[in-house]
Amino acid sequence: AQSVTQLDSHVSVSEGTPVLLRCNYSSSYSPSLFWYVQHPNKGLQLLLKYTSAATLVKGINGFEAEFKKSETSFHLTKPSAHMSDAAEYFCVVSPDSNYQLIWGAGTKLIIKP
């Protein structure tokens, strides 16, 4: 069965320090993987996607994620957090193009001044 696990429900970092949001997946296929962001009282925005090209994927707002097949992970990182990064982040897997997206439960990122 396909699944996505976001390992932390909340992550708190100080402004200017690195961000790491962890995601593990399980899939029988070679999946596509996505990160979405949801700012408070806003809709969902695609941050980045992995679709079997380069394993290091760069997204918007300075975020990037690395696909590691051996670890079945797709962690999201950013070198330096900004106050505007405070939001909820969702890791999502799609086992193939005709399969529905499988959503993680989300990680709330808190930025301390």
Partner 1 sequence: DADVTQTPRNRITKTGKRIMLECSQTKGHDRMYWYRQDPGLGLRLIYYSFDVKDINKGEISDGYSVSRQAQAKFSLSLESAIPNQTALYFCAIAPTSGGAQFFGPGTRLTVL
* Residues contributing to the site for partner 1 (CB under 8 A): 9, 32, 34, 42-46, 49, 51, 90, 94, 96-101, 103-106
Supply the minimum distance, in Å, between the C-beta of residue 85 and partner 1. 19
Closer to partner 1 by CB, 6 or 73: give it.
Answer: 6
Q: Buried b / exposed e across 55-90, counting CB within 10 Å, b at 16+?
A: eebebeeebbbebeeeeebbbbebeebeeebbbbbb
Contact between residue 26 and residue 18 where contact means Cβ atoms under 8 Å apart: no
Supply the minimum distance, in Å, between the C-beta of residue 35 and partner 1. 10
Closer to partner 1 by CB, 39 or 68: give it.
Answer: 39
Determine how β-strand 64-68 pairs with β-strand 10-14.
Answer: unpaired
Supply the minimum distance, in Å, between the C-beta of residue 50 and partner 1. 10
